[in-house]
Structure 1
Amino acid sequence: MWRKASVAALLALAVGYLYHGCPELPEQLLQYISPDGLRSSPQSQCHLEQVISDAWDSLITLPTRQWSRVAVGVNACVDVVVSGVGLLQALALDPGSGRDHEVLRSKEDLRETFVHYMERGAAAERFFSDKEVFQRIARAAAEYPGAKLYVGGNAALIGQKLATYPELMVLLCGPVGPKLHEMLDEQIVVPPGSLQEMDEYHLILEYKAGEQWGSTRAPQANRFIFSHDVSNGVMSLLETFVASLDEFQPDLVVLSGLHMMEGQGRQLWEERLKEAVAAISDIRKDIPIHLELASMTDRDYMNSIMQEQVMPIVSSIGLNEQELLFLSQAGGGPHAHLAAWKGVPDVGQVSDILLWILEHHGRADPSSEADLTRVHFHTLAYHVLATVDGHWANQGAAVMAGARVASSQACGTRAVDPTKVELKVPLRFHTSDSEPRVELTLDPAAPLTAWRRGNVTFHMTPVLVCKQPLRTVGLGDAISAEGLVYSEFKSQPGF
C-alpha cells in the first residue's frame, strides 16, 4: 500500500513537472532520496538547482507589515580586497605551516594565521597590533595589481544592502571617512557626528577553491580579514548612534562591531562593554534590535557578550558556523567538545546549539526576561532560522531570501543562475543529534523544511553554492540584511 502511494506521488510530481519543462525530475527525486542521502549528478537539461531557484521565486513573499526606517551601526570602513597568496608573496613571505594567533603582532603571525584558515577554507578576522607594520602592509595591498576598494564593515555593508530597497530609509552611524562617504548609497543617511577626517581601512585576503600555496590547499573559497582599526576597535560611535535614534525614530535597529573590541585587551573591553550595554539599554523597548556577530577567539569576551551583557537585551542575532560553535564552546553548550566542524556542519548538531542559545540566553525559557527570540544561522551549504513561537512572522520566506541572495551575490548576478551554482547540502538530515532524532528529507520543489522543538520553530533551506565565487566578503551581512527585510516582528503586550 505504501509503495503504491509513493509511486502515485512520484507520478503526480512527474505530471506537474512535465508542464514546467522538467520531464526528468522524478528520476532525480529517486536519486536524491538514495540510501546515503546524497545527490548524484544526473546528466540532464533540468537540474535540481533550477527547481530550487524557481521554487524560491514562487515561495518568497514580503511580510504583511514591513519596516520603513532601519538604523544600522556602528562599524564601517573601506575594504581593500586582494589575493591573499599574492600579497603574502609580495611581502617576501614563504609558505609554511599554519598556526592561529588571537592578535597579529608581525608579518609572520599574519602568514601563520592566514595559512591556518586557508587550509580549512574558513573565514576569520584579526586585529593587527603594530600600527606602522600594518600601514606598510596596507600600502603594499593597495598597490598590488588587481586590488579593489569596497564599502566595508558589517554595519556599512548591511546598510548598503538595505538601501537597495527604495521604500526603506536607512541611517548608518559609524566612522565614515571621505572615501567611504563617497562610496555609500545616496539613500543612506549619515548623521554629522559620524563623519571622520580619515577612513579606516581593512585588508581582505581572498583565496579561491583549490588554490595552493606550498603544501596548503584551500578546500573552498573564502577570505581572511585583518586591520589596525582604532575607531571601530572601541566602538567609538556607539553613543552617537544611540543618540541619533530619537530623531530618526527607527522601527528596527541593527547593531554590529562588538567583535572589533576583542583585540583591545581585557581591561578595555570589560569597561567598554559595560558602557555599550548601558547605551543599548537606552533604546526603546518596543524597537527590536538585531546583533550581527563576527569572528572572535576570546572565550571570556564571548561569555560576557552572551551571559552577562549584550545577548539578553537584543531580539535577534546573526552568525555563521564558526561563531555558532565558538559560542557553544565558550558557554559550555551542546557539542562544545568539537574542535571544528568537519565538512558541512551537521544540521542536527546546529539545531541543538540554536535551541540551547534560545533556551539558556533567550525567551524560549518562559521564566526568562531576555529579549532574544530569533537566531539566523548561515553556512556555505544551508541556512537555519530559529525563532521562539509568537514573536516573529514570515520566517520561511526570510530564510529562503537569505539563501537566494547568498547564491546570486557570490556569483555577481542579479538573480540566481542555476548553471553557475551547485547543491552541496546532504538531502537527508536529522533535526537533532540526540533524542528525539527525526530524519527529514529536502524536497527541491518546496525547498523549505520546518520542525519544532518545544516552543522553538526551525526553518531550514539549502544554499545553491556558487561554483566560481567572484567575492566572498559581506555575504553574511547580505544574508542577515535580506532575512530581516523579509521578517515581521510581533510587538509583545506590555512593551
Structure 2
Amino acid sequence: MWGKAAAVALLALAVGYLYHTGTDLPARALRYYVTTTTPPGATPTGAEHRPGEPSLERAIASAWETLITPPSRQWSKVAVGVNACVDVVVSGVGLLQASALDPGPGLDHEVLHSREDLKEAFIHYMERGAAAERFFSDEEVFQRIARAAAEYPGAKLYVGGNAALIGQKLASYPEITVLLCGPVGPKLHEMLDEQIVVPPDSLQESDEYHLILEYQAGEQWGSTRAPQANRFIFSHDVSNGEMSSLETFVASLEDFQPDLVVLSGLHMMEGQGRLVWEERLKEAVAVISEIRKDVPVHLELASMTDPDYMNSIMQEQVMPIVSSIGLNEQELLFLAQAGGGPHADLPSWDGVPDVGRVSDILLWILEEHGRSEPSAEAELTRIHFHTLAYHVLATVDGYWGNQAAAVMAGARVASTQACGVRTVDAEAVELKAPVAFSSSHGEPRAALTLDPAEPITVWRRGSVTFHFSPVLVCKQPLRTVGLGDAISAEGLVYSELKPQQMF
C-alpha cells in the first residue's frame, strides 16, 4: 500500500516538474518514464500500451533503418595502423580460478608485474563494469598465463588490436580498400579479410597475443558482482608497445594515397616506461606530421593511466595534429582529469555517464585543444564519444557532414555486433539511455529529450554541434571486445568531410 502511494507521489512530482519547467517530453518517452516508475499492476493515465504501437526498442530500430543514410561522398581508400595482434578471449573468472587465484579486494595497477597484480586489477574493473587494458611486465609469467588461456575450455582466437579491428570493419564495405600496417604474424594474416592490403614490411614471423578476460552482467566472484558485461585486456606486447610499424605505415601512404587515415596504438607505449615513451612519442609526432594536410587523420584512443603521458598526447603532441578522435567514458574522464578540464574532480562515473557532463568535457576538448576558431592552429574538429547506453558526436561547424546518420550508425552497430546479428532484434535489446537530459551540467543549459520515433537529439554550444543517439543494449552479449573499434569505424564510414574545408 505504502509502496504504491510512494510511486504515485513520485509520479505526480515528476509530471509536475516537467509541466512547470516546460520540458516537452515526447509521448512515448513519458509513457516509458511512467511505466518504469510504476509498481506492477498499476496503470497510470497516459501510460497504457496502445494497441499496435511498437515498443520503444522497436520504434528506435525502425527509425534507424529510415534515418541512417550514406554520405554523398564516401571514402574509397583508408589506411589503418599501427597496432595488430591475435586476441585470446576467455572467461576472466574461469581462467583466474583455474590459475589457483582466490577472490579478494580489487586494486588498480598501472603496470602488472605478477599474477596477484592481474587478479587485483581484474576485480577492480569487474566490480565497476568498466573496460581496461594493461601491460604485463614479466614475459615468462605472461607466456605461462597465455598458454593456459589458449587451452582453457571455450577459449576463442580472434583478430585483435584496434587498428586490425577497425580495418576488418572497414573492409566489410566492398567499396573501401584498406591498408593495414602493424605487427602481422602468420595466424593474424590468415584471419584478416582478403580485402585488406598488408605491406611486406609489416609481416613478421610470430604473432603478438593479447589476453581478453571477459565477464558477464551479474557474474559474481567472491563478493564482487559485475554490474554489466565488459572485459579486461592485458599483454606483454613489445612490438605494439613501441609502435614499431609506425614508420612503415607512414612510408606506405605515398604509394597507397588514402583519403582517410586511422591511427591507433598510442596507449600501448605507456607500459614501456617514461624514458621510452617520451622519446618515441616525439618521433611518432614527427612521422605523423608528414601525412598530407588534406588527408584527415582519426585517432582512436584506449585505456591509459599516466596523466603525464595523456597530457603529452593531448596538449603538446598528437591531438593537435589529428582531425578526429574516438573514445569511451573512461578515456573521456581521464582526459579531463589529466588536463584539468571540466568535472576533473569526479573520481569515476556513477552508472550511465551524465550527458551534460559529457557535453561539457567534449566542448572543452574542442575549444582548448581543437579548431573551434578558424584562427586556431590545431586540426581537431570531431569527437566520437561512445558509452554503453548512448553515443555523442561533437563536431566543429563547417567541417563534417552526415553526422546524425554517423552517430546512429555507430549506435546500431553496437547493438548488432554485441548480439551477433545482422539487423537489430528488438526483443534481444533494451533501452538504457536517459529519455530526458541537459545540454550542460552547469549554466546555461537546455532541457533535452529523446523521441524514439526520431532517435537523434541535436544541440549547439558556440561553434560546436552535438548529435546524441541512444544505444539499444544487447541483453545477452556474445562478445564485448572490439565494440568501440567497430563503432568508430562505422561512424567514419557514414561521415563526410566537407570539401570546402581542408585540414
Q: The TM-score by the shorter chain falls in which range?
A: over 0.9
Classify the secondary structure of the residue corresponding to 2:88: strand
Contact 2:398–2:501 (Cα < 8 Å) also in 1: no
Contact 2:399–2:501 (Cα < 8 Å) also in 1: no
Structure 1, residues 212-253: CA drift from partner, whole Å, max 9, x if none? 000000000000000000000000000000000000000000
Q: Which runs of 5+ in 2 are unaligned?
A: 1-25, 41-46
2:23 aligned residue: none
Structure 1, residues 132-188: CA drift from partner, whole Å, max 9, x if none? 000000000000000000000000000000000001000000000000000000000
Classify the secondary structure of the residue corresponding to 1:444: coil
Structure 1, residues 84-131: CA drift from partner, whole Å, max 9, x if none? 000000110000000000000000000000000000000000000000
User: Counterparts of 2:474 and 2:396 in 1: how far apart (Å)?
Assistant: 32
Q: Percent identity?
A: 80
1:295 aligned residue: 303
User: Counterparts of 1:229 and 1:55 in 2: how far apart (Å)?
Assistant: 43
Correspondence list, 1:265-276, <5 A: 265-276=273-284
Classify the secondary structure of the residue corresponding to 1:197: coil
Contact 1:28–1:42 (Cα < 8 Å) also in 2: no
Deviation at 1:33, TM superposition (A): 5.6
User: Counterparts of 1:28 and 1:360 in 2: how far apart (Å)?
Assistant: 38
2:193 aligned residue: 185
Contact 1:39–1:426 (Cα < 8 Å) also in 2: no
Deviation at 1:366, TM superposition (A): 3.8
Q: How many residues align?
A: 471
Distance of aligned partners of 1:29 and 1:361 in 2 relative to their CA distance in 1, 3 Å threshold: closer
Deviation at 1:494, TM superposition (A): 6.8
Distance of aligned partners of 1:60 and 1:385 in 2 relative to their CA distance in 1, 3 Å threshold: same
Equivalent residue in structure 2 for 1:223, among 206, 219, 231? 231
User: Counterparts of 2:291 and 2:38 in 1: how far apart (Å)?
Assistant: 47
Structure 1, residues 344-380: CA drift from partner, whole Å, max 9, x if none? 0000000000000000000013431100000000000
User: Counterparts of 1:154 and 1:358 in 2: how far apart (Å)?
Assistant: 23
The two structures have a TM-score, normalised by structure 2, of 0.91
Contact 1:37–1:428 (Cα < 8 Å) also in 2: no
Distance of aligned partners of 1:38 and 1:475 in 2 relative to their CA distance in 1, 3 Å threshold: farther
User: Counterparts of 1:29 and 1:272 in 2: how far apart (Å)?
Assistant: 50
1:405 aligned residue: 413
Distance of aligned partners of 1:429 and 1:264 in 2 relative to their CA distance in 1, 3 Å threshold: same
2:74 aligned residue: 66
Deviation at 1:35, TM superposition (A): 11
Contact 2:89–2:213 (Cα < 8 Å) also in 1: yes
Classify the secondary structure of the residue corresponding to 1:338: coil
Contact 1:163–1:170 (Cα < 8 Å) also in 2: yes
Contact 2:416–2:422 (Cα < 8 Å) also in 1: yes
Matching of residue 256 in structure 1 with residue 241 in structure 2 = no
Query: Match of 1:371, as an amino acid?
Result: E
Correspondence list, 1:239-254, <5 A: 239-254=247-262
User: Counterparts of 1:38 and 1:163 in 2: how far apart (Å)?
Assistant: 47
Contact 1:38–1:428 (Cα < 8 Å) also in 2: no
Query: Match of 1:262, as an amino acid?
Result: E
Q: Which runs of 5+ in 1 are unaligned?
A: 1-25
Structure 1, residues 189-233: CA drift from partner, whole Å, max 9, x if none? 000010000000000000000000000000000000000000000
Contact 1:431–1:451 (Cα < 8 Å) also in 2: yes
User: Counterparts of 1:29 and 1:237 in 2: how far apart (Å)?
Assistant: 49
Matching of residue 437 in structure 1 with residue 448 in structure 2 = no
Deviation at 1:493, TM superposition (A): 5.4
Classify the secondary structure of the residue corresponding to 1:418: coil
User: Counterparts of 2:478 and 2:142 in 1: how far apart (Å)?
Assistant: 26
User: Counterparts of 2:110 and 2:151 in 1: how far apart (Å)?
Assistant: 27
Matching of residue 349 in structure 1 with residue 357 in structure 2 = yes
Distance of aligned partners of 1:27 and 1:328 in 2 relative to their CA distance in 1, 3 Å threshold: closer
Deviation at 1:37, TM superposition (A): 9.5
2:119 aligned residue: 111
Equivalent residue in structure 2 for 1:214, among 211, 222, 239? 222
Distance of aligned partners of 1:52 and 1:270 in 2 relative to their CA distance in 1, 3 Å threshold: same
| C-alpha RMSD of matched pairs (Å) | 1.9
Structure 1, residues 255-280: CA drift from partner, whole Å, max 9, x if none? 00000000000010000000000000
Query: Match of 2:482, as an amino acid?
Result: G
Distance of aligned partners of 1:39 and 1:127 in 2 relative to their CA distance in 1, 3 Å threshold: farther
Contact 1:362–1:370 (Cα < 8 Å) also in 2: yes
Matching of residue 320 in structure 1 with residue 328 in structure 2 = yes
Structure 1, residues 330-353: CA drift from partner, whole Å, max 9, x if none? 000000000000000000000000
Equivalent residue in structure 2 for 1:150, among 138, 148, 158? 158
1:163 aligned residue: 171
Classify the secondary structure of the residue corresponding to 2:263: strand
Matching of residue 134 in structure 1 with residue 136 in structure 2 = no
Classify the secondary structure of the residue corresponding to 2:427: helix
2:61 aligned residue: 53
The two structures have a TM-score, normalised by structure 1, of 0.93
Structure 1, residues 422-474: CA drift from partner, whole Å, max 9, x if none? 00011000000011111111000000000000000000000000000000000
Matching of residue 389 in structure 1 with residue 380 in structure 2 = no
Query: Match of 2:288, as an amino acid?
Result: I
Distance of aligned partners of 1:465 and 1:113 in 2 relative to their CA distance in 1, 3 Å threshold: same
1:6 aligned residue: none
Contact 2:293–2:502 (Cα < 8 Å) also in 1: no
